[in-house]
Amino acid sequence: MSLIHEGRGGRSYLAMGEGEGGGSGGLCPGILWAIIWFFLILLSLWLAFILDWFYIILLPFSACIKALDAIEEQLLKLIQLPKTCAENMIAMKPVCGG
């Protein structure tokens, strides 16, 4: 329902009625996912701070012991988790794999 009413100076304004404007009236689900990703960033930062020590310690040994390469790669993925969470937060992707 659109209403036209006169404002100051005799100008006409179009006022949108309830239910118009294309919005659903609530928060965008992408914003909620971004907030969840933000808290996951905070958690993943702590995890990355802890695991980076193990990564640094294993790094020189992985040059000698090839079996440590797989562990080193997994640790690096976990250390880069805050970046992945930030990218998903910016894209407002669902956390549950959607």
Task: Residue 58: give the domain boundaries.
Answer: 24-91
C-alpha 88/C-alpha 19 separation (Å) is 31
User: Are the beta carbons of 37 and 85 closer than 8 angstroms?
Assistant: yes
Tell me which DSSP letter residue 46 carries.
H
Q: Per-residue pLDDT tens for 11-68?
A: 554 544 444 444 455 567 778 888 889 999 999 999 999 999 999 999 999 989 999 9
Tally the domains of the chain.
1
DSSP 58: H
- What's the pLDDT score for residue 22? 47
Q: Which residues pair with 16 in a beta bridge?
A: 2
Residue that the structure tokens 């970046």 belong to: 83
CA distance 59 to 47: 18
71 in Cβ contact with 55 (< 8 Å): no
**Residue 13, domain member (yes or no):** no
Residue 1 falls within a domain, yes or no? no
pTM of model > 0.85: no
85 is a domain residue: yes
